[in-house]
Amino acid sequence: MTTRYPAFANEILDLFAEREAALTDIAIIQPADPFLDMAGEDLRRRIFLTESETGKSLCLRPEFTIPVCRDHIETRATTPRRYGYLGEVFRQRREGGAEFFQAGIEDLGAGDRAGADARSLADAHALLARVLPGRGLRVTLGDQAVFEAVLAALGLPRGWQERLARAFGSSEMLDAAIAECASPPAAARLPREIASLVARGDEAALSDRIQQDMEAAGLSATAGREPCEIARRLIEKAELRSVRLADSALDVLKSFLAIRAPLAEAGERLAAFAGEAGLFIDEAVENFNERISRIVEQDVPLSGISYSAHFGRPLDYYTGFIFEIGAEGMDQTLVGGGRYDRLLTLLGAEKPIPGVGFSVWLDRVSALKEQAE
Amino acid sequence: MSVTLALPSKGRLKDKTIERLQGAGYPVRLPENDRSYRAAVDGIDGLEIAFLSASEIARELDRGTIDLGVTGEDLVRETIPDWERKVEIAARLGFGRANVVVAVPDVWFDVFTMADLDDVAAEFRQRHGRRLRIATKYGRLTQQFFSRKHGIQVYRIVESLGATEGAPAAGSADVIVDITSTGSTLKANHLRVLDDGVILRSQACLVMAKRERPDEEAKLIEDMAAALDGTSA
């Protein structure tokens, strides 16, 4: 490692080798589209964009997970496979420089999800324990799958379940989504003929009519949203119009989102919540408990871990387990990690490939080490 | 004392601006040479007039190369990062009114609100193998409105430099964000503004670059702003 790298880089590489994560080399210059497609347009102003001679959008890698997954798909690597990385990322931030080091492990294709989740957390924990010996660590853990199970058990309409699940992890977005389900908007002003087809629930006729309108408007019926898609959603919306999110369901959602517990007690708390609310979420709770017992097997001390029911990331490729680790002496998070079972499919993998991983902010680790010296 | 005021160099916006200045006691003496881009105001020393395009005026205000400019609020908010730190709207002039709006194809009978659009954007990728595309020349306003105000993350902006309203029919985008005064262009292109899809109600403004100024310059600007204010008219 050259002097650009943090002084403790070798300790991390040793840990990769011990924990069987092959060090992978990721190009610094990356196509920009996958990042903008996955993370959204918000990223555009924060990444370093340029263009190739042929007009292709390129950027300096703003993170590692997406390029690691893309390389995995491109090389048709066999799974399961564990990738370790350590290098600079380039991203404009409110605090700190725009060029900083990250390290992490991405674990792709492991079928035993609870085991892989636990190992990912253990990897991250071990990494921090090695580079910050003696420093107290606090782990926060969340699980979108439990939230989704609660939504399903409440018997909410599919459209609402999706909208609420999408907002999971952002309290602002979630509040707005809940408010909307509690008081759906008034009926839209539809042309008479359309309204009557909707009222009859005649999806096929509605779809035909929309197709005619599209043709008349010079819109391609295949390039974007299709007539059948619009027809189906129109009918779904009409069905929801008379439905309100009941106060009782709202209370259940609120009391779920307020759950915070040390991980050792989290399973019991969830079971007690389900019992009180009369919800059947046994499978999600079982998976949750299974993961806890695998975390114990990995020798991660449970005492420093807490579960927070509302903790998530509002990005559509995160699907379940997520975690972050902080350390005493710093407010900022040192590690962010989680399961992204949808990401590889979104990036073009032919078959679904489960994935879980984490990333460490090495610049923050450096700052803490300096503080200690 | 020297204060530079940039005025729109062409079109209705230019004519209306000069008319308003005239009415407020600032008669612009147009250059005899039609191709000159400099002018002065009779009776007011130290006020220099420059003619620039409306979007250049916003850029030059950002750079601080001019003191004052008459341009659209849409261009100020779109062109100048962190605009409130750099410039101040000294007066709203009451003309050049137009809205920056989110418009979808008329046949999207199921989409009337931003929440509807959020639903559509969320499942778009899965159905069509790409994100929902928004054609616009207002990338910054669009991103602020979609991401920050409505929490919609998953869409792509397609930069459009002209005839944005034609993008859905051309197949280059699914929805648009554009400026409209009467809505007739949108209508002609079978597009409809969402109920909560007005991003900005814009109008022509007298905009001032923020900086320390000698008292007499500040006074001149203050007087001019008061005289031009169109909100009371």
Where is pLDDT greater, at B141 or A299? B141
Query: Looking at beta carbons, which residues of chain A come within 8 Å of B177?
Result: none
- What does the pLDDT read at residue B233? 47
- What does the pLDDT read at residue A101? 96
Query: Looking at beta carbons, which residues of chain B come within 8 Å of A315?
Result: 153
What pTM was computed for the model? 0.86
Verify whether the Cβ–Cβ distance A219 to B118 is below 8 Å: no
Q: Closest CB to B109: pick one of A163, A172, A194.
A: A194
* Chain B interface mutation, best of A219, A236, A240, A342, highest count of B Cβ atoms under 10 Å: A219
Q: What average pLDDT does the segment A340-363 reach? A: 94
Confidence bin at A74 (pLDDT 50/70/90): very high
Q: Where are the alpha helices (DSSP H) in B4-149?
A: 11-23, 54-63, 73-79, 83-86, 114-128, 139-143
What is the H or E stretch that residue B180 is in? strand B175-180
A235 pLDDT more than 80: yes
Where is pLDDT greater, at A188 or A215? A215
Cβ-based contacts under 8 A for chains A and B: 100
DSSP state of B183: S
Radius of gyration of chain B (CA): 20
The answer to whether A239 and A290 have CB atoms below 8 angstroms apart is no
The mean of the pLDDT values for chain B is 91
The answer to whether B134 and B174 have CB atoms below 8 angstroms apart is yes
What single letter denotes the amino acid at residue B94? G
Q: What average pLDDT does the segment A125-140 reach? A: 94
* A299: closest CA of chain B, how far (Å): 38
* Tokens representing residue B32 in the block: 């005899």
* A213: closest CA of chain B, how far (Å): 7
* Nearest residue on chain A to B168, alpha-carbon basis: A219
- What does the pLDDT read at residue A282? 93
Q: Which fold has domain A9-136+328-372?
A: BirA Bifunctional Protein; domain 2 (3.30.930)
A73 pLDDT more than 50: yes
Cβ burial of A19 (10 Å; 0-12, 13-18, 19+) is middle
Which residues in B have their CB inside 8 Å of a CB on A?
105-110, 112-113, 115-116, 118-120, 122-125, 127-128, 130-131, 139, 142-143, 146-147, 151, 153-157, 168-169, 171, 174, 190
Say what percent of chain A tops pLDDT 70: 98
- What does the pLDDT read at residue B153? 83
B177 pLDDT more than 60: yes
Q: What average pLDDT does the segment A283-307 reach? A: 93
Q: What average pLDDT does the segment A313-342 reach? A: 92
The answer to whether A23 and A84 have CB atoms below 8 angstroms apart is yes
* Tokens representing residue A163 in the block: 């909208």
Q: What average pLDDT does the segment A180-195 reach? A: 80
- What does the pLDDT read at residue A317? 85
A224-231, Cβ contacts within 8 angstroms, sequence gap of 24 or more: A224/B128, A224/B168, A224/B171, A224/B174, A225/B105, A225/B108, A225/B120, A225/B124, A225/B128, A225/B174, A228/A203, A229/B127, A230/B107, A230/B108, A230/B109, A230/B110, A231/A203, A231/A204, A231/A206, A231/A207
* A279: closest CA of chain B, how far (Å): 27
ipTM: 0.85
What strands lie across the sheet with B3-8, from one edge to the other? B28-29, B38-41, B47-52, B3-8, B68-72, B204-209, B87-92
Q: Where are the domains of chain A?
A: 9-136+328-372, 192-240
Q: Closest CB to B169: pick one of A219, A315, A316.
A: A219
Residue A82 phi, psi dihedral angles, 5° rounding: -120, 125
Verify whether the Cβ–Cβ distance A219 to B147 is below 8 Å: no
- What does the pLDDT read at residue A347? 92
Verify whether the Cβ–Cβ distance A233 to B154 is below 8 Å: no
A186 pLDDT more than 80: no
Residue A324 phi, psi dihedral angles, 5° rounding: -140, 155
What strands lie across the sheet with A49-51, from one edge to the other? A29-31, A57-60, A49-51
B32 pLDDT more than 80: no
Question: Which domains, and CATH codes, for chain B?
Answer: 3-97+203-228 (3.40.190.10), 98-201 (3.40.190.10)
* A250: closest CA of chain B, how far (Å): 19
A11 pLDDT more than 80: yes
- What does the pLDDT read at residue B17? 94
A237 pLDDT more than 90: no
* Tokens representing residue A340 in the block: 């992204």
Q: Determine the longest span between alpha carbons in chain A, in angstroms.
A: 76
Q: Does A341 touch chain B (CB under 8 A)?
A: no
Q: Which residues contact A266 (CB under 8 A, 6 or more apart)?
A: A259, A288, A292, A307
Q: Which residues contact A348 (CB under 8 A, 6 or more apart)?
A: A70, A73
